[in-house]
Amino acid sequence: MASFIPNLEPRPDTSPEFKRKKRRKTYENPGPCYPTQGNQRIKRWRTLREQHIYSSKLIEALCRSRRTSSSAAAKEVHETADRVLAISDKGTTRWSRAILTSRLHAGAKLRKHKKAKVTANTRLQKPQINGEKRKLTVVERKLKVLRRLVPGCRKLSFSNLIEETTDYIAALEMQVRAMTAITEHLASALGGGAQPPANRLGSNVNS
């Protein structure tokens, strides 16, 4: 009968003393405070698979484009490279969504500018208020510049701005690697005597 009686003594890992030690250890060592999802996103931009996908999409987009002059070609290559980069991100970040909607905002801004130019002569200008502005600190000035550099991040908080900036830099680094590989491929093709079609990648591919 004694063998059928369960052992009612608590196990070491369920005793109150063990739980208190475990909680104390957890509070002393909380672990890394950075988001895991952001680190996974940065690692994704550094894989060869993501670079190959971006390169193929970029080449397809450049093959469909039509350029009339060298200056227009350089601008279009730059815009196409950024747009394909945002498409590769699938709009999961603020900077990619800002790039994808930049054309719509540019058209609306142009129409608004034309309308304001027509009505500027019929309205009286408001008097300027000569108020003293508070001088920004060095950190505030740098954050202001950073918010302008990263698309769609002008009104973000500090923590969100750092997260978007880190992801954007990793994406740009992948873009540079991919476009460098495309440029080297074109250079080797030209050196071997093969001439690319005039309506395809063109002679200059810049990041």
Residue-range domain boundaries for the chain: 37-110+144-189
Please, what sign has the CA dihedral across residues 25, 28, 29, 32? positive
CA 189 to chain centre: 32
Q: What is the pLDDT of residue 65?
A: 76
pLDDT confidence tier of residue 134, bands split at 50, 70 and 90: confident
Q: What is the pLDDT of residue 23?
A: 58
Instruction: Return the SS3 of 29.
Output: coil
pLDDT confidence tier of residue 193, bands split at 50, 70 and 90: low
Instruction: Return the SS3 of 19.
Output: helix
Q: How many CB atoms lie within 10 A of CB 200?
A: 12
If we measure between CA atoms, which residue out of 49, 44, 82 comes closest to residue 179? 82
pLDDT at 7 over 60: no
- pLDDT tens readout for residues 49-88: 999 999 999 999 988 876 666 777 888 889 999 999 999 9
Helix 36-45, helix 158-191: angle, nearest 10: 10
Rounded mean pLDDT of 16-24? 61
> How many alpha carbons fall within 13 Å on the CB side of residue 132?
2
pLDDT at 118 over 70: no
